[in-house]
């Protein structure tokens, strides 16, 4: 089922005394989410991701705008009639019920024609449990499960009714690093197997990038960019998106465009096709550097981290806006650590220019 | 015994000492008294040892009346007060405007003196030379006959006593229950809502189990409190409860010790032990039932 949001806006009254203006948690969302995909809703804490999710689930009513599930307008439909599956950040498993009872709970709510017999419920619950591989723990209480297992139970409870839309609120944030890696693969697999349109909220860009078919990057209630993870990474529309995606993060320099060239400090990095002269932000991905004795960009060498498969060169430049510069180069290179300075050439397709004021991307030919 | 253990006992000693002197010793003493026939507290003498005290009180119509009254009181007031308190707390929990005001109003009876409350009930229910009381006015207004709630038929008096007890014990229960309800994570309700759970089912399948330990606590203390009822009856019907036919077990114990028919510590002790046995039994039954229905 595809999901369409039209001018969706949610305002909350401001809690600070004396401030009249509302807090706009979700600001004018216009987006069409295609059927059967895994969507990552990505943004820093407090940017309105969870609010957006709650609007979709029906737990919150939008201030204005419309939500369509398929062709149906569900804006005024209460949560209980939307038939979405929702997994909470803390899982919200009923502690007094066993795993089986937890998974069966949504089935027992079905009314009318959809009503199931006890045996059918058992069967469906088992089926969902098998899908998330917890069918051997059916008679345990949630408190007797590990965090990862609880997460699976919550997932099983959400998909047991075969919803058309599955919503996950920070699904991996309560798991340890190893489990998180494993669970995100699981999530991907389950989504593939069921084909349910799935939207998950996360503040972890790596998580979103790794498993999503499409990511939506948010900042302060506003959608910044929508697209396939690789596309968004390769072509960010503004400095925020560029900074938010990628580990290690993008290196940002204060630069200047003049006489058809891009300058960082006293170094001319490359030529750009841009009229006039102006101050710009220059974003260079860590993998966008090539070590070269005669390279254009000169930096003060601070250290080298050898990771085996590649090398991270840490250096400083007076024009850097993001602290130490981390550049990842192939392990075949040899870095002369006795030297004070290190010089790089920059790969033009890994370099982005942004307006100094608006921080919007400046599209031009770089080379 | 290792050193730590010895230290622990040392720290516990003051409490144990006081509890022993003022709680355990009197309890044992009461138990002993209850088997000493014809004990005289002035001369500290008794005729013999045996079950006569028990036999006497179990054949005493006043005691049997007191037991009957107490049981009726318990059976009526504990479920009603707990149920009503639950209803009010759930309602309080789901309204936002004026919530604090309501909470304060509901809590007022708790901080009001029993006898002052008794006076209010007198105004509501007692017949005087000038009026039949507010409640009777209402009954008359609807075309009914006046009922003497204080000196009238047994059922009317029992009604007033139960009404009074429910009214007095409810604020505390509301306070505890609103606290318990507020501490249930909102996510459970949201999860249930998304799953399309009806309001009734949310209440019985989620809210009730979640606050079951609190309800259980209120039921147990409610039972014990109701079994120990005495001052409420005095506030309504005066000190001569036997004559009014509204005595309770604790009232009977008091009367046997100090009342008009006072001076019978042996009978009082036997009655107290019977009460103790009843409360213990009921509490044990409660504990057994709770094992199945209370989720910690």
In tens, the pLDDT along B54-82 reads: 999 999 999 999 999 999 999 999 999 99
Using CA coordinates, name the residue in chain A closest to B208.
A96
| pTM for the structure as a whole | 0.79
- Assess whether the previous peptide bond of A248 is cis (omega < 30° from 0): yes
Q: Is B37:B47 a contact under the CB 8 Å cutoff? A: yes
Q: What is the pLDDT of residues A284-325, one digit of tens each?
A: 999 999 988 888 899 999 989 888 888 999 999 999 988 899
Measure in Å the smallest separation between the Cα of A90 and chain B Cα atoms.
8
CATH number of the structural domain spanning residue A97: 3.40.50.300
Say if residue A224 is in the same domain as residue A352.
no
Q: Which residues of A touch B210 (CB under 8 A)?
A: 95-96
Instruction: Establish if A338 belongs to a structural domain.
Output: yes
The pLDDT, as a whole number, for residue B113 is 80
Say if residue A272 is in the same domain as residue A228.
no
Say if residue A180 is in the same domain as residue A49.
yes
- Residues 6 or more apart whose CB falls under 8 angstroms from that of B202 comprise B189, B192, B193
* Cβ contact B197–A81 (<8 Å): no
Q: Which residues of A touch B197 (CB under 8 A)?
A: 80, 105, 109
Instruction: Establish if A292 belongs to a structural domain.
Output: yes
Q: Which residues of A touch B187 (CB under 8 A)?
A: 88, 90, 92
Instruction: Inform me whether the pLDDT recorded for B259 exceeds 80.
Output: no
Q: Where are the alpha helices (DSSP H) in chain B?
A: 3-19, 25-33, 52-59, 61-94, 99-111, 114-125, 134-141, 154-182, 186-194, 199-202, 208-210, 212-227, 231-237, 241-244, 249-258, 265-293
Test the A interface: residue of B186, B187, B188, B194 with most A CBs within 10 Å: B194
The pLDDT, as a whole number, for residue A236 is 94
Residue A70 phi, psi (nearest 5): 65, -125
Using CA coordinates, name the residue in chain B closest to A59.
B190
% of chain A residues with pLDDT over 90 = 57
Say if residue A82 is in the same domain as residue A197.
yes
pLDDT averaged over chain A? 90
- Residues 6 or more apart whose CB falls under 8 angstroms from that of A253 comprise A264, A281, A282, A283, A284, A317, A319, A320, A321
pLDDT averaged over chain B? 87
Say if residue A255 is in the same domain as residue A289.
yes
% of chain A residues with pLDDT over 70 = 100
Lowest model confidence (mean pLDDT) among A86-95, A236-245, B104-113: B104-113
Q: Which of A337, A241, A331, A339 is nearest to A287 (CA)?
A: A331
Q: Is B195 on the interface with A (CB under 8 A)?
A: yes
Tell me the domains of chain B and their CATH numbers: 56-293 (1.10.3720.10)
Instruction: Inform me whether the pLDDT recorded for B43 exceeds 80.
Output: no
- End of a domain among A244, A275, A310? A244
Burial of A247 (0-12, 13-18, 19+ CB in 10 A): exposed
Question: How far is A138 from B196, CA to CA, in rounded Å?
Answer: 23
DSSP string, A202-245: ES-HHHHHHH-SEEEEEETTEEEEEE-HHHHHHS-SBHHHHHHS
Confidence of residue B116 (pLDDT cuts 50, 70, 90): confident
Say if residue A229 is in the same domain as residue A300.
no
Say if residue A100 is in the same domain as residue A229.
yes
Q: Which of A218, A213, A204, A212 is nearest to A170 (CA)?
A: A204
The pLDDT, as a whole number, for residue A235 is 94
ipTM reported for the complex, 2 dp: 0.81
Lowest model confidence (mean pLDDT) among A269-283, B175-189, B232-246: B232-246
Measure in Å the smallest separation between the Cα of B217 and chain A Cα atoms.
18
Say if residue A60 is in the same domain as residue A174.
yes
Lowest model confidence (mean pLDDT) among A333-347, A349-363, B123-137, B220-234: B123-137
The pLDDT, as a whole number, for residue B140 is 83
Looking at beta carbons, which pairs linking B67-73 to residues 24 or more positions away fall under 8 Å?
B67/B249, B67/B274, B69/B158, B69/B161, B69/B233, B69/B245, B69/B246, B69/B247, B69/B248, B70/B226, B70/B227, B70/B229, B70/B248, B70/B249, B72/B158, B72/B162, B73/B158, B73/B161, B73/B162, B73/B165, B73/B226, B73/B229, B73/B248
* Cβ contact A96–B191 (<8 Å): no
Q: What average pLDDT does this structure show over B122-148?
A: 80
Say if residue A165 is in the same domain as residue A255.
no
The pLDDT, as a whole number, for residue A4 is 92
Instruction: Establish if A155 belongs to a structural domain.
Output: yes
Instruction: Establish if A367 belongs to a structural domain.
Output: no
Question: A-contacting residues of B 266-295, CB under 8 Å?
Answer: 295
Instruction: Inform me whether the pLDDT recorded for B261 exceeds 70.
Output: no
Pairwise pLDDT comparison (A47 vs B1), residue with the higher score: A47
Say if residue A230 is in the same domain as residue A178.
yes
CA distances from A9 to A169, A207, A220 (A): 19, 26, 12
Using CA coordinates, name the residue in chain A closest to B294.
A96
Say if residue A8 is in the same domain as residue A153.
yes
* Cβ contact B195–A106 (<8 Å): yes
Question: How far is B213 from B233, CA to CA, in rounded Å?
Answer: 30
* Cβ contact A92–B187 (<8 Å): yes
The pLDDT, as a whole number, for residue B103 is 81
Say if residue A76 is in the same domain as residue A102.
yes
Question: What is the number of structural domains in chain A?
Answer: 2
- End of a domain among A188, A214, A244? A244
* Cβ contact A92–B210 (<8 Å): no
Q: What average pLDDT does this structure show over B96-112?
A: 82
Instruction: Inform me whether the pLDDT recorded for B155 exceeds 70.
Output: yes
Instruction: Establish if A128 belongs to a structural domain.
Output: yes
Q: Is B199 on the interface with A (CB under 8 A)?
A: no
Instruction: Establish if A160 belongs to a structural domain.
Output: yes
Q: What is the pLDDT of residues A146-205, one digit of tens each?
A: 888 999 999 999 999 889 999 999 888 888 888 888 888 888 998 998 899 999 999 888
- End of a domain among A244, A276, A300? A244
Range of the domain at A303: 251-362
Q: Which residues of A touch B196 (CB under 8 A)?
A: 79-81, 83, 106, 109-110
Q: Is A123:A117 a contact under the CB 8 Å cutoff? A: no
Confidence of residue B260 (pLDDT cuts 50, 70, 90): low
Pairwise pLDDT comparison (A32 vs B293), residue with the higher score: A32
The pLDDT, as a whole number, for residue B1 is 60
Pairing of strands A214-219, A38-42: parallel
């Amino acid at each position: 089922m595809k999901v369409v949001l039209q001018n969706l806006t949610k305002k909350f009254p401001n809690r600070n005394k004396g401030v009249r203006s509302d807090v706009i948690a979700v600001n004018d969302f216009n987006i069409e989410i295609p059927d059967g995909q895994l969507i990552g809703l990505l943004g820093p804490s407090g940017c309105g991701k969870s609010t957006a999710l709650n609007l979709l689930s029906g737990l919150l009513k939008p201030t204005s705008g419309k939500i369509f599930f398929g062709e149906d307008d569900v804006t005024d439909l209460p949560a209980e009639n939307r038939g979405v599956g929702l997994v909470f950040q803390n899982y919200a498993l009923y502690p007094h019920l066993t795993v089986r009872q937890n998974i069966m709970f949504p089935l027992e709510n079905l009314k009318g024609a959809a009503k199931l017999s006890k045996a059918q419920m058992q069967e469906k619950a088992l089926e969902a449990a098998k899908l998330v591989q917890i069918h051997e723990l059916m008679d345990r209480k949630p408190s007797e499960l590990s965090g990862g297992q609880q997460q699976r139970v919550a997932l099983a409870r959400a998909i047991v009714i075969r919803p058309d839309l599955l919503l996950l609120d920070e699904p991996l944030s309560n798991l340890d690093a190893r489990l998180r890696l494993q669970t995100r693969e699981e999530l991907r697999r389950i989504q593939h197997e069921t084909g349910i349109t799935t939207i998950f909220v996360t503040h972890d860009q790596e998580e979103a990038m790794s498993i999503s078919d499409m990511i939506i990057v948010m900042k302060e209630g506003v959608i910044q960019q929508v697209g396939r993870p690789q596309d968004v990474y390769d072509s960010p529309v503004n400095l925020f998106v560029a900074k938010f995606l990628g580990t290690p993060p993008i290196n940002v320099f204060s630069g200047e465009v003049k006489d058809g060239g891009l300058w960082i400090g006293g170094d001319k990095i490359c030529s750009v096709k841009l009229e006039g002269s102006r101050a710009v932000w220059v974003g260079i991905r860590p993998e966008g550097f090539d070590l070269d004795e005669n390279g254009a960009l000169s930096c003060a060498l601070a250290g080298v981290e050898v990771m085996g498969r590649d090398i991270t060169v840490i250096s400083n430049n007076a024009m850097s806006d993001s602290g130490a510069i981390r550049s990842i180069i192939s392990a075949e290179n040899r870095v002369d650590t006795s030297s004070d300075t290190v010089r790089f050439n920059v790969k033009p397709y890994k370099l982005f220019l942004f307006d100094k004021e608006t921080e919007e991307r400046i599209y031009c030919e770089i080379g | 015994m290792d050193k730590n253990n010895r230290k622990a006992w040392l720290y516990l000693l003051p409490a144990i000492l006081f509890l022993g002197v003022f709680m355990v010793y009197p309890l044992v003493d009461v138990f002993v008294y209850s088997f000493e026939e014809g004990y005289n507290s002035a001369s500290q003498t008794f005729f013999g040892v045996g079950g006569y005290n028990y036999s006497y009180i179990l054949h005493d119509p006043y005691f049997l009346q007191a037991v009957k009254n107490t049981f009726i009181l318990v059976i009526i007031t504990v479920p009603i007060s707990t149920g009503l308190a639950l209803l009010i707390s759930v309602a309080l929990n789901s309204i936002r405007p004026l919530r604090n005001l309501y909470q304060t109003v509901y809590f007022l009876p708790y901080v009001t003196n029993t006898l002052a409350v008794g006076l209010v009930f007198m105004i509501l229910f007692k017949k005087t030379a000038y009026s039949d009381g507010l409640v009777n006015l209402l009954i008359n207004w609807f075309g009914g006959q006046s009922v003497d709630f204080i000196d009238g038929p047994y059922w009317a008096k029992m009604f007033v006593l139960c009404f009074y007890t429910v009214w007095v014990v409810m604020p505390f229960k509301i306070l505890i229950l609103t606290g318990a309800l507020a501490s249930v994570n909102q996510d459970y309700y949201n999860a249930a809502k998304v799953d399309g759970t009806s309001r009734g089912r949310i209440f019985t399948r989620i809210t009730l189990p979640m606050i079951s330990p609190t309800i259980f606590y209120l039921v147990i203390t409610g039972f014990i409190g109701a079994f120990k009822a005495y001052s409420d009856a005095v506030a309504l019907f005066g000190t001569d409860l036997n004559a009014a036919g509204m005595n309770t077990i604790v009232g009977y114990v008091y009367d046997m010790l100090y009342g008009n028919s006072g001076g019978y510590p042996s009978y009082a002790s036997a009655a107290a032990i019977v009460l103790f046995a009843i409360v213990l039994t009921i509490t044990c039954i409660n504990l057994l039932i709770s094992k199945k229905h209370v989720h910690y």
